């Protein structure tokens, strides 16, 4: 899976190099997230959080473009302690008896998205994203075992409402990687919905 995404990223960058961009826009963006992790060990509710960062948008022709982003986001996951004990305490010593009720994850993500302008107001986006865990605060397992993997691959899709240069965005991120770093008994995959604002800072032709 990871190799396929890397090859896709290389292919997308190759398209940008080969195509003469009509316009390049650099900007900032930020918004609110509603995120969760699937699996028996976590509650199924979406928890609110935030994201922020920057983007570079390459206009390839009148309707197609490419947008790369560098984002920081944070999510707080509510742990289902009862299910956690059922799943992992088969040997009576796996779960930390002092486990908190939440786990906090701060991640840096690099989405690379193809964009299609439907009309002057609406554009749609889709593409892969690679994320790196920059910060975690959890004490789920004993002996200092880190619960979450450092890397994650996801697929992003969404739409933008373009108004006088700036735009509102709505996006859904579907995690493809199992981020459970302990074992494969319970599969953990992230789900994230984002809503926010993109503001252009500088454009180049």
Enter the CATH code of domain 2-204: 2.40.160.20
Whether the pLDDT of residue 162 is over 90: the answer is yes
Contact (CB, 8 A) for 85 and 99: no
Q: What is the mean pLDDT of the chain?
A: 83
> Which span out of 122-131, 143-152, 178-187 was modeled with the highest average pLDDT?
122-131
The mean pLDDT of 87-107, rounded to a whole number, is 66
Please enumerate, as own/partner, the contacts of 47-54 that have beta carbons within 8 Å and a separation of 24 or more.
Answer: 47/75, 47/76, 47/77, 47/78, 49/73, 49/74, 49/75, 49/76, 50/74, 51/194, 51/196, 52/28, 53/28, 53/29, 54/26, 54/27, 54/28, 54/29
Tokens 């305490």 identify what position? 89
Indicate the domain borders of the chain. Answer: 2-204
The pLDDT of residue 20 is: 57
pLDDT score recorded for residue 136? 80
State pLDDT tens for residues 22-49: 688 999 999 999 999 888 888 878 889 8
Region 110-132: what's the mean pLDDT? 94
Q: pLDDT higher for 89 or 37?
A: 37
Separation of alpha carbons 123 and 15, rounded Å: 20
User: Number of C-alpha atoms within 13 angstroms, CB side, residue 1?
Assistant: 12
């Amino acid at each position: 899976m990871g190799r396929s995404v890397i090859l896709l990223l290389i292919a997308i960058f190759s398209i940008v190099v080969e195509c003469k961009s009509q316009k390049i826009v650099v900007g900032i963006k930020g918004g609110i997230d509603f995120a969760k992790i699937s699996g028996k060990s976590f509650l199924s509710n979406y928890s609110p959080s935030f994201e922020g960062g920057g983007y570079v948008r390459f206009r390839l022709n009148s309707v197609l473009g490419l947008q790369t982003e560098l984002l920081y986001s944070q999510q707080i996951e509510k742990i289902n302690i009862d299910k956690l004990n059922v799943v992992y305490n088969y040997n009576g010593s796996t779960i930390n008896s002092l486990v908190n009720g939440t786990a906090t994850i701060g991640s840096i993500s690099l989405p690379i998205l193809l964009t299609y302008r439907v009309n002057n107001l609406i554009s749609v986006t889709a593409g892969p994203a690679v994320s790196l865990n920059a910060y975690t605060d959890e004490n789920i397992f004993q002996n200092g075992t880190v619960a979450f993997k450092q890397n994650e691959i996801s697929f992003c899709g969404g739409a933008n409402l373009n108004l006088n240069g700036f735009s509102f965005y709505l996006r859904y991120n579907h995690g493809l990687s199992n981020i459970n770093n302990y074992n494969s008994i319970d599969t953990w995959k992230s789900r994230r919905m984002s809503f926010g604002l993109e503001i252009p800072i500088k454009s180049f032709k």
